[in-house]
Amino acid sequence: MTLRFALLVTTAAALRPTQTRVSTTKKLDVVVVGGGISGLATALELARRGRSVRVVSRDLAKSATLAAGGMLAPQAERLEEGPLLDLCVQAREAWPSWLDTLDAPRPTLNAVGGFVSPSLTPGSSIESWRPPSSAGPSEWLDGNALRAMEPSLGNDVRGGWWYPLETWVDPVQTHECLLKTCESAGVEVVVDQDVAGLDLARDGSCSALRLKDGSLLEAADYCVAAGAWLRGLLPIPVSPQKGQMLSLKPPPSNDRTGAPARVVYGEDCYIIPRGDRVVIGATVENSSTMHCDVEGVHALLGRAQKLCPGLGQWQLDDAWAGLRPTTTDGAPVLGRTRWSNLWVCGGYWRNGILLAPTAARLLADAMDSSLSEKDAQLLDACRWDRFFAPVSSESSRLREGHAGLTSGEPADLDRIGYGAITAGEADAGGAARAANLEALFGGGVSAPEPAPT
């Protein structure tokens, strides 16, 4: 057990509310599955709108939130123009005001003149990138100018982008503050509860949340924010993607000149100056294990030292791993499912900290039938069934009544049901899926190949 993991477990235990037996008779307004930042932010937003909310979590210490870098950085992520970028930029701009609504002591937004994104090799993805102007200001600086801004960068840096608006927040402090704010807002957080499944009724609704101890939780609405384990409750292709991270502490001489003053966001790693430590992340691995290995730590150290050579004198402090909830297309799933009172928010991949507050507001607006036209389009692009069903790219299911309002081919899933889809041709809906992906990512994404026959 690493020191960081031990501290996370201790923090989660200290914040754990007194446990009572889960009621099988009290009907709540909303039950939220998941105690990470997504579930807690959603619960808080709904509670502030007058709903009674209970959060059910298996283990707060295993939340991806606690292992994250805390980036609020859609530009550094190099997102293409489109609804996904629009959602992320809206989320970044909403963070300062949302943070002010949390109970004190609150975490702070950290930015010393934004982020720098340096390139080490000719033709790298950073050099070839052209940041969309809709995401905010950016400026390309040559190597000398970039080193003048951030002296820790090495001589091999050819140049890079400067993103003045990008920032980050400490995820552990944010989670702790959010838990306390939820408690003061009347949200009941129940931990050490394993969810066995959802009782889905033939009338198209969810009737209960079934726990592994045999008890039931009944509510008017249910929201699944189960992170990397979302697929265990709903047929959505969300898988755990492992990310290893590490922290460094100053050398025995306490000479800190090798550390950057601002976030350095390279092509395959990022470096965050966090207090008296430097955090380096993160690997991208198709694995659900939670251990750190020599290969991953060695790779991160090598990448970081190429960007900031002075870090070679620093001492290894800690290493940890987390599981990102990742969809097959890398974009979130957000909104109502096929079941009228069952909602989902997840699959945020590398943008969980960034998206959680704004996604919570959008989901609450959808539940209140108060979405703006623009926000309805954003949720429609992130709908849960885009991976497997031939739905119309004109679907308006998240507007008033959450019903499909289109006609013609390809027909809307909510209007015709699954039977008509499975009875069609093997490649039926391919054009619609391509249109959905183009709407989400802004073009350049191919539809999946037809299934072999």
DSSP-assigned states of every residue in 175-211: HHHHHHHHHHTT-EEE-S--EEEEEE-TTSSEEEEEE
Q: Which residues, including other chains, have CB under 8 Å from residue 193's CB and lie 6 or more apart?
A: 22, 56, 57, 58, 211, 213
Place of tokens 């609704």: 205
**C-alpha pair distances (Å), 204 with each of 199, 236, 412, 414:** 11, 18, 16, 11
Angle ∠(51,52,54) on CA atoms, nearest 5: 130
The pTM of the full predicted model, rounded to 2 decimals, is: 0.81
Residue 148, pLDDT > 90, answer yes
Angle ∠(116,118,124) on CA atoms, nearest 5: 140
Residues 194-226 pLDDT 10s: 899 999 999 999 999 999 999 999 999 999 999
Smallest CA-to-CA distance from 147 within 162, 167, 125 is with 162
Average pLDDT over residues 158-183: 96
Smallest CA-to-CA distance from 22 within 242, 193, 272 is with 193
Residue 14, pLDDT > 50, answer no
Residues 324-380 pLDDT 10s: 999 988 889 999 999 999 999 999 999 999 999 999 999 999 999 999 999 999 998
- Do 110 and 309 contact (CB within 8 A), yes or no? no
Radius of gyration of the chain (CA): 22
- Do 268 and 56 contact (CB within 8 A), yes or no? no
Distance CA 339, CA 199 (A): 11
Residues 280-323 pLDDT 10s: 999 999 899 999 999 999 999 999 999 999 999 999 999 999 99
Q: Which residues, including other chains, have CB under 8 Å from residue 414's CB and lie 6 or more apart?
A: 338, 395, 397, 402, 403, 404
Residue 445, pLDDT > 70, answer no
